[in-house]
Amino acid sequence: MTAVVVTLLVLVVLAAAVAAASVRILREYERAVVFRLGRLIGAKGPGVVLLVPLIDRMVRVSLRTHTLNIPAQDVITCDNVPARVDAVAYFRVVDPRSSVIEIENFRQATSLIAQTTLRAVLGKADLDALLSQREQLNEALQHIIDEQTEPWGIKVTVVEIRDVGIPTTMQRAMARQAEAERERRAKVIKADAEAQAAGRLAEAADVISRNPTTLQLRYLQTLSEIGIEQNSTVVFPLPMDLVKPLLGAVEQARGELEPGDRGAPLFAPREREHAT
């Protein structure tokens, strides 16, 4: 009786072990690549997957997006500037069978391909493109890496350049260049403002030349503005239109004098009468 019980217990343990070896539960983001006696059967899952004990072998593959940190690479741009660039890549498995059959370790292989492509692509760009055209370079990197990993069932979705390190001397040169560019823009803006002001003054001169009365009004307005401020010295500007008639009269009076009296003053002071 005891032997029968022990035999039943052994059979139960063996059945439990066989059931545990033949039943696999896969999550929603997992797939099972099943091999039977070394030959590929296919990808199964998610849910419950039944395997033949000692005959079937399963490789579990995750379909979630993987994050790959590309180590910093020393790059020399096309304008001979050394730089140290690191990036990050996002990829996922779209074909579980190819990711197992075509490549031994798809994560390591994708990392090596990304490093090589990063050096090759950035080496063809100059420093200005590396600093200002990140989006175009990211798209080029993603396209090239995706083409190379497609036979492995890998889809590279995003490649982003995270940091670009350049020498300190180059940073100082770029700072001087940026300062010179800002000074150039300031001078251009100032020149444009002076040109616009000159144009407005020319328009005002045209208006005044057509109607001399406006000059008198402007003169009176200037006097009123001067009177508002508390100034110790007041300057009265005289328009040339008012001064010209006076100057003409003076010249005419000087012309009427005799040639020998041209040096005499126009208005001679009267001699003082001394009281006797």
Predicted confidence pLDDT, tens digits, the chain (276 residues) = 677 777 778 777 777 777 777 888 899 999 999 999 889 998 988 888 888 888 889 999 999 999 999 999 988 888 888 889 999 999 999 999 999 999 999 999 999 999 999 999 998 988 888 888 889 999 999 999 999 999 999 999 999 998 888 888 777 877 787 788 888 888 899 888 888 888 887 887 777 777 767 766 776 677 676 666 666 666 666 666 666 776 777 777 777 654 555 444 544 444 444 443
**Residues 57/35, Cβ–Cβ less than 8 Å:** yes
Report how far residue 161's alpha carbon sits from residue 230's, in angstroms, rounded to the nearest whole number.
65
What pairs with residue 147 in β-bridges?
Answer: none
Could you tell me which residues come within 8 angstroms of residue 113 by beta carbon, excluding any fewer than 6 positions away? 145, 148, 149
| pTM, entire model | 0.62
Q: Can you read off the two tokens belonging to residue 88?
A: 């990050």
- Architecture in CATH for domain 66-166: 2-Layer Sandwich (3.30)
Q: What residue ranges do the domains of the chain occupy?
A: 20-62, 66-166, 168-213
**Residues 63/96, Cβ–Cβ less than 8 Å:** yes
Report how far residue 199's alpha carbon sits from residue 181's, in angstroms, rounded to the nearest whole number.
27
